[in-house]
Amino acid sequence: MKKFDVFGMGNALVDCVCLVSDAFLKENNIEKGLMTLVDDKKQKSIIEKIKNSNPFIQSGGSVPNSIYTLSNLGGSGYLSFLISDDTYGNLYLDDIKKSGINTADKNFFLGDGMTGSCLVLTTPDAERTMNTSLGVSSNYSVKNINFDDLKLSKYLYIEGYLVTSDIAVDAIKKSISFCKENDVKVSLTFSDLSMVKYFKDKFYNILDYKIDLLFCNKEEAENFTEENDFKKCCRKMLELSEMVVITKGDQGSLIISNSGENIEIEPNNVNALDTVGAGDTYAGAFLYGLNNGLSLKKSGELASSLSSKVVTKLGPRLDKNIIESIKQSMT
User: What is the rounded average pLDDT of the residues 106-125?
Assistant: 93
Q: What is the distance between the alpha carbons of residues 296 and 90, in angstroms, rounded to a whole number?
A: 37
In tens, the pLDDT along 318-327 reads 999 999 999 9
Who wins on pLDDT, 239 or 47? Answer: 239
* pLDDT attached to residue 239: 96
- Please spell the DSSP secondary structure of 220-268, one letter per residue: HHHHHHT--SHHHHHHHHTTTEEEEEEE-GGG-EEEEETTS-EEEE---
- Residue 168, helix vs strand vs coil: helix
Q: What is the distance between the alpha carbons of residues 195 and 148, in angstroms, rounded to a whole number?
A: 30
**Percentage of residues in the chain having pLDDT higher than 70:** 99
User: Which CATH class name applies to 4-329?
Assistant: alpha beta
Q: Is the pLDDT of residue 53 over 70?
A: no
Q: Is the pTM of this model over 0.85?
A: yes
Q: Which residues contact 36 (CB under 8 A, 6 or more apart)?
A: 30, 130, 131, 132, 194
User: What is the rounded average pLDDT of the residues 74-95?
Assistant: 96
- Residue 80, helix vs strand vs coil: strand
